[in-house]
Amino acid sequence: MQPDSWTTAWQQHLMSEKTSAPHRAPELVRTHAERMAHEAEERLQKRQLLLDEQCATANSPDVRIRAWEKAHALCLPSDPGHPVLRSVATSTRLTVAQVQEEQSVRRARRAAKAAIAGQPS
């Protein structure tokens, strides 16, 4: 039985096809422990960047407080006398008064949104 031209062309294509570039062995042969260590290092670097952002004096108080919230997975309390405000101020290199000012700004923003939402269309 004679192969048809399509089969012959396919065989020639397969024989002439170049294999892809070989992967570097260290990337392919990483142990689970090595992968875990690498991922832990990446998490540590991201955390350090976040901590740097929360105390960078070039950032506004709003940005620094949001970085604190993200780093601690917490929201800034709305109570101006909340004891955690001193910790927030220290971590963000702000004064307690600056943190309370951000609370005030957020409170006004929420009130404005609520007023808009409550208006009839």
* SS3 per residue for the chain: CCCCHHHHHHHHHHHHCCCCCCCCHHHHCCCHHHHHHHHHHHHHHHHHHHHHHHHCCCCCHHHHHHHHHHHHCCCCCCCCCCCHHHHHHHHHCCCHHHHHHHHHHHHHHHHHHHHHHHCCC
What whole-number distance in Å separates Cα of residue 46 and Cα of residue 97? 29
pTM of the model: 0.64
Check residue 6 and give its pLDDT.
72
Number of neighbouring beta carbons within 10 Å of residue 94: 22
What whole-number distance in Å separates Cα of residue 53 and Cα of residue 96? 18
Check residue 117 and give its pLDDT.
85
Mean pLDDT for back-to-back runs of 10 residues, the chain (121 residues): 66 64 58 88 91 92 95 94 96 96 95 84 55
Q: Degrees (nearest 5) of the Cα angle 113, 57, 83?
A: 60
Each domain of the chain, given as residue ranges in start order, spans 32-118
